[in-house]
């Protein structure tokens, strides 16, 4: 897409990646964008770049506004390659001797990505930079979501360039929140659940800091997706809410199956939960992507995992999901395990171990049955679902 | 007792508070934390920590 002016003299010069469907293991069903921002002033500033394979598009976008050598300062808010990948190509044209502003960890991490003799200017937290009309302030936001992550705030226009925070993997012809429908919040939520969830305590700290210093925000420009201009407070409020990790009365039942036995159990547990009037979402691991599952896990009270026993162990997709979920450190959950097995039946105990490691409080030791569930077992599954549903209703979530 | 800062993510270990979530009791000096302990925020190892000035 062509660059667009977001405020007089301030341009989105980034690119749209319409076709990406797998972003390092996160399913991006609507593609994404890599946003970069050009601020024209006495000193011209570029904030962030794009993925390496889109370098030419970024350069063309900038060129349609000013020649690259007219850029005086480049700022890297985040070193991950979707935002730094085009730095070598850009710096080459801007001039390798131009200052490259980043955080202290940004300097370290960029040096570990690219073997270049760039003129790093590691900023102190809250350091300011005057570019003529404008003053930029750098806010340290370590671990949101990398050690190098920082925000750049344009004081006069009250624009926050927030790197990955407040972003969404969402490609469209539109630029702003008021041009897209409410569904954008679902993309923002998925982003939070899959990228930021584990840093929720830091999100809370940051939001408190922002309130305490009374930072006014007219516009939030993240590095992915649309820009929040109509109501930047909406996404800030959502982040506040999400970072509290208060579950809703909902169960997610995640399972895989080999000969439909664990699946049949799943169906009856789901029915049992539904019988108590509790929301329940069954997710088959070979039908649902782990990043979509995580979005549901994120605000659910109960995580129910069903696995067949394969060669004395967990079914591989279950291990995949658990590894992924564990890293994102979901809080305030209850857990339950179930599964059908042939002869040894280790899976349920293995899931229980994982629940314990994740500090997810278990309903009990789970439900395991040999081979194909009969009527009696299926009644047991329904009762199990009812028990879980009642527990969810009881918990003051 | 001295506080220690994680050089990767900026987390501050305060011996007064310890890190109870990871079985480090309040009152544990940084040097007495077992070597297998990691930064509760970013997972960095103990030797990434420096004394807070
Ligand atoms: Fe990132
Ligand atoms: Fe990113």
CB contacts of B9 in chain A (<8 Å) are 142-143, 147
Instruction: Write down the pLDDT at residue A185.
Output: 97
| Mean pLDDT on A2-8 | 96
For B41, which residue in chain A has the nearest alpha carbon?
A199
Q: Is A1 on the interface with B (CB under 8 A)?
A: no
Burial class (CB in 10 A: 0-12, 13-18, 19+), A156: exposed
Active-site residue (options: A191, A255, A341, A384) = A191
What distance in Å separates residue A142's CA from the closest CA in chain B?
A: 6
For A143, which residue in chain B has the nearest alpha carbon?
B9
Mean pLDDT of chain A: 97
Q: How many CB atoms lie within 10 A of CB A13?
A: 25
Predicted confidence (pLDDT) per residue in A306-360, tens digit: 999 999 999 999 999 999 999 999 999 999 999 999 999 999 999 999 999 999 9
Annotation marks residue A148 as catalytic: no
| Mean pLDDT on B13-38 | 95
pTM of the model: 0.96
ipTM value of the model? 0.85
Beta carbons of A200 and A194 less than 8 angstroms apart: no
Confidence of residue B10 (pLDDT cuts 50, 70, 90): confident
For the ranges A30-34, A46-50, A205-209, A241-245, the lowest mean pLDDT is seen at A205-209
CB contacts of A105 in chain B (<8 Å) are 8
CB contacts of A327 in chain B (<8 Å) are none
Beta carbons of A160 and A219 less than 8 angstroms apart: yes
- The conformational region for residue A48 under phi > 0 = left, psi -120 to 50 = alpha, else beta, is left
Mapped onto helix, strand or coil, the DSSP state of residue A195 is: helix
Q: Do A140 and B10 touch (CB under 8 A)?
A: yes
Burial class (CB in 10 A: 0-12, 13-18, 19+), A361: exposed
Window 11-40 of B: residues touching A by CB (8 A cutoff) are none
CB contact set of A226 (below 8 Å; sequence gap of 6+) = A168, A170, A172, A174, A175, A176, A177, A179, A180, A184
Instruction: Give, for A93, the enclosing helix (H) or strand (E).
Output: helix A87-94
Q: Which site among B20, B40, B41 would you substitute to test the A interface, given the most A Cβ atoms closer than 10 Å to its Cβ?
A: B41
Predicted confidence (pLDDT) per residue in A369-397, tens digit: 999 999 999 999 999 999 999 999 996 64
CB-based burial, B13-34: b 16+ in 10 Å, e otherwise: bebeebbeeeebeeebebeebe
Instruction: Give, for A357, the enclosing helix (H) or strand (E).
Output: helix A347-357
Q: Is A142 on the interface with B (CB under 8 A)?
A: yes
Torsion, Cα of A238, A240, A245, A247 (10° steps): -40
Instruction: Write down the pLDDT at residue A101.
Output: 98
Tell whether the model's pLDDT for residue A13 goes beyond 50.
yes
Active-site residue (options: A17, A140, A145, A354) = A145
For B8, which residue in chain A has the nearest alpha carbon?
A147
Residue A143 alpha carbon to ligand 1 centre in Å:
10
| Mean pLDDT on A2-28 | 97
Dist. CA A293–CA A26, nearest whole Å: 11
| Mean pLDDT on A115-125 | 96
Predicted confidence (pLDDT) per residue in A136-185, tens digit: 999 999 999 999 999 999 999 999 999 999 999 999 999 999 999 899 99
Q: Kind of pairing, strands A71-75 and A44-47? A: parallel
CB contact set of A149 (below 8 Å; sequence gap of 6+) = A77, A78, A103, A141, A142, A143, A163, A164, A165
Beta carbons of B17 and B26 less than 8 angstroms apart: yes
Confidence of residue A1 (pLDDT cuts 50, 70, 90): confident
Predicted confidence (pLDDT) per residue in A191-241, tens digit: 999 999 999 999 999 999 999 989 999 999 999 999 999 999 999 999 999
Q: Which domains does chain A have, with CATH numbers?
A: 4-244 (3.60.15.10), 252-390 (3.40.50.360)
Instruction: Write down the pLDDT at residue A396.
Output: 62
Annotation marks residue A284 as catalytic: no
- A142, A199, A201 member nearest B10 (Cβ): A142
Confidence of residue B24 (pLDDT cuts 50, 70, 90): very high
Picking from A26, A27, A89, A17, the residue whose alpha carbon sits closest to that of residue A60 is: A89
Q: Is A198 on the interface with B (CB under 8 A)?
A: no
Joined together, the tokens standing for residue A373 give 């569930």
Annotation marks residue A92 as catalytic: no
Q: Is B50 on the interface with A (CB under 8 A)?
A: no
pLDDT more than 70, % of chain A: 99
Tokens 């992924």 -> residue: A324
Strands laid side by side in the A219-221 sheet = A128-130, A135-140, A150-154, A159-161, A219-221
Annotation marks residue A182 as catalytic: no
For the ranges A58-62, A71-75, A130-134, B39-43, the lowest mean pLDDT is seen at B39-43
What distance in Å separates residue B32's CA from the closest CA in chain A?
A: 24
Q: Do A199 and B41 touch (CB under 8 A)?
A: yes
Annotation marks residue A164 as catalytic: yes
For B10, which residue in chain A has the nearest alpha carbon?
A142
Annotation marks residue A224 as catalytic: yes
Which one of the ligands is nearest to A224 CA? 2
């Amino acid at each position: 897409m062509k660059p667009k002016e977001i405020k007089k003299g301030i341009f989105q010069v980034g690119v749209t990646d319409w076709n990406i469907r797998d972003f390092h293991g996160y399913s991006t069903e609507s593609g994404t964008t890599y946003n970069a921002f050009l601020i024209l002033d006495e000193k011209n500033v570029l904030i962030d770049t794009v993925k390496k394979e889109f370098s030419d598009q970024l350069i063309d976008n900038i060129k349609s506004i000013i020649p690259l050598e007219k850029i005086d300062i480049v700022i890297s808010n985040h070193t991950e390659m979707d935002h730094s990948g085009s730095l070598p190509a850009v710096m080459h044209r801007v001039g390798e001797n131009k200052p490259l502003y980043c955080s202290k960890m940004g300097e370290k991490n960029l040096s570990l990505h690219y073997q270049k003799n760039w003129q790093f200017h590691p900023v102190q937290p809250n350091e300011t930079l005057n570019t003529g009309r404008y003053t930029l302030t750098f806010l340290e936001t370590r671990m949101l979501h990398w050690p190098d992550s920082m925000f750049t705030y344009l004081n006069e226009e009250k624009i926050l360039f927030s790197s990955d925070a407040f972003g969404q993997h969402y490609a469209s012809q539109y630029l702003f929140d008021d041009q897209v429908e409410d569904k954008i919040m679902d993309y923002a939520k998925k982003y939070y659940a899959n990228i930021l969830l584990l840093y929720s305590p830091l999100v809370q700290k940051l939001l408190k800091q922002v309130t305490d210093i009374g930072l006014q925000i007219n516009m939030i420009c993240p590095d992915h997706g649309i820009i929040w201009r109509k109501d930047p407070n909406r996404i800030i409020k959502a982040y506040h809410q999400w970072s509290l990790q208060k579950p809703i009365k909902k169960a997610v039942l995640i399972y895989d199956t080999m000969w439909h036995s664990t699946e049949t159990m799943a169906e009856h547990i789901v029915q049992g939960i539904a019988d108590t009037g509790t929301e329940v979402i069954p997710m088959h691991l070979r039908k649902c992507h782990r990043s979509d599952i995580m979005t549901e896990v994120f605000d659910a009270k109960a995580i129910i995992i069903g696995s067949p026993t394969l060669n004395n162990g967990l079914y591989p997709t279950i291990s995949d999901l658990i590894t992924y979920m564990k890293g994102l450190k979901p809080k305030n959950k209850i857990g339950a395990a179930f599964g059908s097995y042939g002869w040894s039946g280790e899976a349920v105990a293995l899931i229980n171990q994982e629940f314990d490691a994740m500090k997810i409080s278990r309903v009990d030791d789970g439900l395991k049955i040999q081979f194909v569930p009969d009527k009696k077992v299926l009644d047991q599954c329904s009762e199990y679902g009812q028990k879980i549903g009642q527990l969810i209703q009881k918990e003051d979530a | 007792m001295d506080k220690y800062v994680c050089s990767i993510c900026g987390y501050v270990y305060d011996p007064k508070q310890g890190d109870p979530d990871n079985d480090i009791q309040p009152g544990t000096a940084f040097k007495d934390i077992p070597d297998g302990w990691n930064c509760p925020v970013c997972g960095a190892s103990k030797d990434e920590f420096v004394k807070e000035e």
